[in-house]
Amino acid sequence: MSIPDVTDLTLEEKASLTSGASFWNTKPVERVGVPALMVTDGPHGLRKQREGGDHLGIGDSVPATCFPPAVGLGSSWDVELIHRVGEALGTETSIEDVAVLLGPGINIKRSPLCGRNFEYLSEDPIVSGVLGAAIVKGIQSKGVGTSLKHFAANNQENDRMRASSDVDPRPLREIYLRGFQRVVEDAQPWTVMCSYNRINGVYASEDPWLLTQVLRDEWGFEGLVVSDWGAVNERVPGLAAGMDLEMPSSGGTTDAQIVAAVQDGSLDESVVDVAAGRVLDLVRKATDGAGAVEGPLDVDAHHALAREAAGRSIVLLKNDGVLPLAKDAKIAVIGEFAEKPRYQGAGSSMINPTRLDTALDEIRALAAGEVSYAQGFSNALVVSDDETQALRDEAVAAASAADVAVAFLGLPARLESEGYDRDDIDLPAGQLALLDAVLAANPNTVVVLSNGGVVALPFADRVPAILEGWLLGQAGGGATADVLFGEVNPSAKLTETIPARLEDTPAYLDFPGEFSHVRYGEGLFVGYRWYDARRLEVAFPFGHGLSYTTFSYADAAAAVDADRDVEVTVEVTNTGDRAGREIVQVYTSLPGSSVQRAPRELKAFASVALEAGESQVVTLTVRRKDLAYWDIRADRWVVEGGDYRVEVGASSRDIRSSVSVAVEGDAFTLPLSRTSSLGEVLRHPVAGPMVQAAMAQMMGGLDAGAASIMPEGVDMSKMMESFPIGRIGMMAALGGDGGGVSPEMIDGLIAMANAGVVPQQA
C-alpha cells in the first residue's frame, strides 16, 4: 500500500491525523487511502481490548502471554533474554494486527512508594537504558512499534496529571533522562510517549525544550511523540512544542483548534505539516511491517519462555543452606499467594493471560514427598478476628508437622497500582504475625515474596532463606517451584536497593511534594548513590543476589580503547558444584573530581553463564559518554580527565577487584569574565601562566601586610581561590602597589584569554 505525502492532504485532513479516532485507533484519511492504526497497552504483554471494550477493563481483552513485569524481568540483567521476550511480545502484537505496543516504561525508581514501580526497571539509568533498548529492539524486530514511556521525570502517581517535578539540570540529565537517551540512540523506538506531569513548571506535553531540543535535536529521535492518554493540556502549544499525536480522541475539538490557529495566523501551517508527516511515517512503517508474523500464536512456546524469564527474575536474597529443597522433604506451603498468585500490577498494564500457573500446583508436581497447604491469611478487605486466628492456627499445625515450611507473603493488589502511591513499605501486619507464629513452630522456614515494589524485611535475620519473587507473570508459579527445588539456579540480582527503613530512602522528605510541586532535593543521589554517599546500612544492596553455586573474580584490568571507551576485563570462575550464572557489574568513580559525584556509579554489566568449575574472561565496555557529567556552566556533557577508579563486583557493596585507568578529559575551557574566580583564571591555559607570576609578587605583599591581622599559618592562596578577578585591584592595593592592576588591564587579560592569544615575552 502506498501512503501519500503530507502535501496531498488538506489542512483539515492534516490536523485530523494529530489526534486519535477512538481510545485505541488513529484516524484514517479515506480520501487518499491512509488507514487507521491500532495501538494497545503493554509493556509485559499485549492488552488488546475487544471491540467495544473500555480502557480499564481486563476481561474483555484478548488472551495474551503475561510475561514478568519490568520489576522482575529487569532483575535478570540479561540483554539476550530480554530481547527474546521482546521478540515474543512483538510476535503477539503482529499476530493481532496491532501497530504499536505501548512500552517499555523506563522511569527511575526514585522512591519505593511509587505505585507504578512494578512497570519500571531500575533505580539506575544505565540498567534502565540498556535493558529498555533490548526490549525495544526485540519488539520492533517483528515489524511493529514501541512507545518509550513515560517521558520524563514521571516518578510518582500522586497528583500525576499536574504535579511539577522540580529537578536541577545535573540530576535531570544524568539520572532521569540518561536512560531515555540510551534507548533512543541505540534502538530508535517508533514512538515516545510524553508523560502527564510538568517538569520545572512546564507540562511535558507542551515543552519544546524536552520534545524538540533534547529529544530530536540532541538525541536524533526520528519517530513520533504521542501523548499519554489524557496528557494534553493545551493542544496548539503542544503541537508547536513537538507533541505530534494526541491520544485518545478529542472528538474533533482539538483538530478544530489547530485549524483555527493556522487560519488566524497564530500557528504556522508548517508545524502541522511536520506532525502530520510523522504520523504518516508511522503509518508507512506499520504498513510495511504488517503481516510480518503469521498466526496462530504458539501458546505453549510463549508460556515456556515466560517460565524461563520468571525463573531468571527471582532474586535469592538469603540462603543459610535450606535451599534448594530436597524433593522428598515433607513441605508445608503456607500463604494465600501460593494458591492465588499475584503475578502482575494493577492498572493499564493488566494482561488477560493465556493460562496461569500456581506455585502450590507446581511444587506438588515437582515434589516426591508430602506437600501440605494452609492459606495462612486472607487478602480480603474484611476478615474477622476468629477467621484470622483459625487460618493462623492451621498454618502453625502444618508447619509443625513438616520438615520445611515455605511461606508466601506479599502485597495485596490494592496496596500498589497505577494511579496512586503506597503509604509505606511494610508487609501487612497480619502476614508478619503469621510468619512469627510459623517460625516459632518451624525455624526451617523459607519466605517467598510477591510484590511490585520493595518491602521492608524486619525478619531477614530470623529466616534461613528469602526469595524475592516480585511479580512474575503467568508462569511465575512454575518458575518459583523450579528455583525452590534447584531445577533453576537463581541468578537474578536487585536493580533497586532494599532499604532498612523508609526514613532512610533518598526522597523521604520530598515525596510526594505539596501544592502540585515535588522538589527532587536528593539531586544526583538516587538509590544506591544515596546510601553509599551517606554510608547507610541497607537490608540488601543494589546488585545483590545469591546463587546455589559460588563465583570468584580474578584481578581486573582496564584500558582505554581506540574508540576512547574503557575496556574492562576480568576472569570469573564458577567455584561451586553446579552450573550457574553471574551478573558481573562495573562501577566507576573519579577521586578528586571537580564536581560532586557519588562514591560509585554503575557503568556496565554482563550476564555470564558458567558450568561448574568453568572460568571465563569477561570483557565489559564502559562507554566514554557514560563517564561524562552535565556541566551546568556550559549546558553540555563533559568528560573530566583523570585517573578513574574502576571497580568490578557482584553488587554495589561486594566489590571483588579495583583498578585505575587514566582517561583524557574533553578539551573544554569556559570563557573568562570579570566574575571568574582567581582559581578559574589560574587553571586557564592562556591566562593562568600570565597571572601566576603577577600573583606571586602580589601575594608577597599581601602576606606581609596581613601578618599583623591573620593568625600564623593561614594559607592566603586558598583564601584567594574564589576571589573574583574583577576585584583583584582592591587586593593589589592592599599589597602596597598602589592599585597598579587597573580594570583595563584585567579586561585586556580576559580578552586575550578568550581569544586564545598568548602575549609575546619581552
8 Å CB contact between 674 and 650: no
Query: Collapsing DSSP states into helix, strand and coil, what is residue 169?
Result: helix
Catalytic residue (one of 124, 228, 482, 565): 228
Looking from the CA of 265 toward its CB, the CA atoms found within 13 Å total 0
Query: Collapsing DSSP states into helix, strand and coil, what is residue 636?
Result: strand
DSSP type of residue 757? P
Which residue shows C-alpha cell 506438588?
364
- The whole-angstrom separation of Cα 130 and Cα 605 is 9
DSSP type of residue 103? -
Grid cell listed for 662: 587514566
- The whole-angstrom separation of Cα 102 and Cα 47 is 10
Catalytic, 532? Answer no
- The whole-angstrom separation of Cα 151 and Cα 105 is 9
- Tell me, rounded to whole angstroms, the distance of Cα 617 from its chain centroid: 28
Exposed / middle / buried, residue 499 (Cβ in 10 Å: 0-12, 13-18, 19+): buried
- The whole-angstrom separation of Cα 375 and Cα 203 is 47
* Helix H or strand E segment including 89: helix 79-95
- The whole-angstrom separation of Cα 24 and Cα 38 is 6
Q: For residue 90, what are the contacts with CB-CB under 8 A and spacing of at least 6?
A: 101, 138, 139, 140, 141, 142, 143, 144, 293
Q: For residue 68, what are the contacts with CB-CB under 8 A and spacing of at least 6?
A: 44, 306, 309, 310, 313, 470, 471, 472, 473, 476
- The whole-angstrom separation of Cα 314 and Cα 436 is 24
DSSP per residue over 242-304, as a string? T--BB-S--TTHHHHHHHHHHHTTSS-HHHHHHHHHHHHHHHHHHHHHTTSS-SS--HHHHHH
Which phi and psi (to 5°) does residue 39 adopt?
-120, 155
- Three-class SS of 683-730: HCCCHHHHHHHHHHHHHHHHHHHHCCCCCCCCCHHHHHCCCEHHHHHH
Angle between helices 178-187 and 125-140 (to 10 degrees): 30
Which residue shows C-alpha cell 488513529?
26
Rg (CA), the chain: 30
**Active site positions, annotated:** 228
